[in-house]
Amino acid sequence: MKKDLEAKFLSDFEANQNIAHKICRLYTTNQSAHNDLFQEITIQVWKNYPKFRGDSKFSTWMYRVALNTAISLYRKSTRTIKTQDFDDIAFKIKSTDYDDTEELQLKALYKAVHQLNDIDKALIFLYLEDKPYKEISETLGISSVNARVKMNRAKEKLKNILNP
Amino acid sequence: MDLLENYKKAWDNQPEEVSKFSELEIYKLAHSRSSSIVKWIFIIGILEFVILNSMYFFVDMDEAYAEYKKIGLENFIHYSQILAYVIIFYFLGMFYLNYKKISTSDSTRVLMKKIIKTRKTVRNYVIFNLSYMALIMFIVMAAEINLKFEDLNTKQILLIVLLTLVLTLVILGGLWLFYQLLYGILLRKLNRNYKEIAKLDRIN
């Protein structure tokens, strides 16, 4: 029984690991912090996996667990943000068929989001991932009206950073 | 078009992570130890309890008990210690329950609420430890004065009271700092995020 569950977890998580990687990129600025957070997300998803009942999609549920882990995890390295760390990220996600303007935009986007607080980061992430307000409000545990208001503020903040 | 829509396109088109983990690597990661704050609060609480109590093995308690006996407090000390242990075990139980109940699969707000509950438990635990310490010091002082009341003049009594007060404040201050260091660091970030999430509720 447990073996089945474990196998299912491994294949679900493997297939959806990009969610965790994206969250790590938003919440951390260097590779070792990225890996630490990724590990903690893996542990939390596995620990909570027996509670996942399958009434929603695995990915939907994983967004919530992964974001909550990022928000509540104690990270020592957040205070030392170094600029070259952003270049690391950009370099890592560079590929041949990749448009240069978009690469610069993406780099600027990450740099801007890094300046937001943890909750705003979560909101912007869910916006970028095209999540409906219903899902955003369930993830954060607030009403969808509140989610809308808060989302608009977070977007305003982000725009001001991107285009001062 | 909205400024952010452009960036969103860049976001959608970002390539997948190059260094993806295999199922085997994920298996290893999932079975390593968690570093979550609430777990550490629980572990530190247990460690503190064990370390403070094992100090009795190194400190000669017989002498202290002889002193308590002399001033007629042996029964009080005995029962108050039993009570203190009951209360401390209650707190350790609460630490454990907080740790067990916290689940990252709750919604962010519920999670933060549970975290704030953990915070309150820690705070009450610290307050209890400090007030128990202060209470014992003052009762011992009162008993000492009571015993030697005939031999002491007003000035000496005042001096004893003042000394005890200063000593208590110094010890409590030291302990307070110790707790601030121990739990404060762990709780600060949690608190900041809680305030953020609490703000979400106050918008309307």
DSSP assigned state of B25: H
Q: What is the ipTM of this complex?
A: 0.77
Which residue of B lies nearest to A25 if distances are taken between CA atoms? Answer: B17
CB of A88 within 8 Å of a chain B CB? The answer is no
Judged by average pLDDT, the poorest of A99-113, B41-55, B90-104, B160-174 is B41-55
| Predicted local confidence at residue A16, as pLDDT | 94
CB of A162 within 8 Å of a chain B CB? The answer is yes
Q: Rg of chain B's alpha carbons, rounded to an integer? A: 26
Which residues in chain B have Cβ-Cβ distances shorter than 8 Å to A120?
Answer: 196
Q: Shortest Cα distance from B134 to chain A (angstroms)?
A: 33
| Predicted local confidence at residue A64, as pLDDT | 93
Q: What is the mean predicted confidence (pLDDT) over B1-6?
A: 78
Interface test with B, best of A25, A49, A78, A119 (most B CBs within 10 A): A119
In a domain? residue B66:
yes
**Residue A79 binned pLDDT confidence (cut-offs 50, 70, 90):** very low
Mean predicted lDDT score pLDDT of chain B: 82
Residue A78 has pLDDT above 50, yes or no: no
Q: Does the distance separating the beta carbons of A42 and B29 come in below 8 Å?
A: yes
Give the residue numbers spanning the domain of B47.
31-197
Q: What does pTM read for this prediction?
A: 0.75
| Predicted local confidence at residue A156, as pLDDT | 93
Q: What is the mean predicted confidence (pLDDT) over B85-99?
A: 88
Residue B99 has pLDDT above 60, yes or no: yes
Cα A27 from Cα A118, distance rounded (Å): 8
Q: What are B138-163's pLDDT values in tens digits?
A: 888 888 888 877 777 888 888 888 99
CB of A145 within 8 Å of a chain B CB? The answer is yes
Q: Provide the number of structural domains found in chain B.
A: 1
Residue A89 has pLDDT above 60, yes or no: no
Structure token digits, residue B129: 């430890």
Which residues in chain A have Cβ-Cβ distances shorter than 8 Å to B186?
Answer: 74
**Residue B196 binned pLDDT confidence (cut-offs 50, 70, 90):** confident
Residue among B17, B21, B111 minimizing CB distance to A72: B111
Which residue of B lies nearest to A95 if distances are taken between CA atoms? Answer: B15
For chain A, percent of residues with pLDDT exceeding 70? 84
| Predicted local confidence at residue A77, as pLDDT | 44
Q: Does the distance separating the beta carbons of B112 and A128 come in below 8 Å?
A: no
A111-128 as b/e: b if 16+ CB within 10 A:
bbbbebbbbbbbbbbbbb
In a domain? residue B1:
no
For chain A, percent of residues with pLDDT exceeding 90? 48
Q: Does the distance separating the beta carbons of A36 and B35 come in below 8 Å?
A: yes
Q: Shortest Cα distance from B125 to chain A (angstroms)?
A: 22
Cα A49 from Cα A61, distance rounded (Å): 10
Question: Higher confidence at residue A96 or residue B40?
Answer: B40
Which residues in chain A have Cβ-Cβ distances shorter than 8 Å to B16?
Answer: 18, 21
In a domain? residue B203:
no
Mean predicted lDDT score pLDDT of chain A: 83
Residue A62 has pLDDT above 80, yes or no: yes
A 55-84 residues with CB < 8 A to B: 61, 64-65, 67-69, 71-75
A 89-118 residues with CB < 8 A to B: 92-95, 98-99, 102-103, 105-106, 108-109, 117-118
Q: Which domains does chain A carry?
A: 1-78 (1.10.1740.10)
**Residue B166 binned pLDDT confidence (cut-offs 50, 70, 90):** very high
**Residue A82 binned pLDDT confidence (cut-offs 50, 70, 90):** very low
In a domain? residue B8:
no
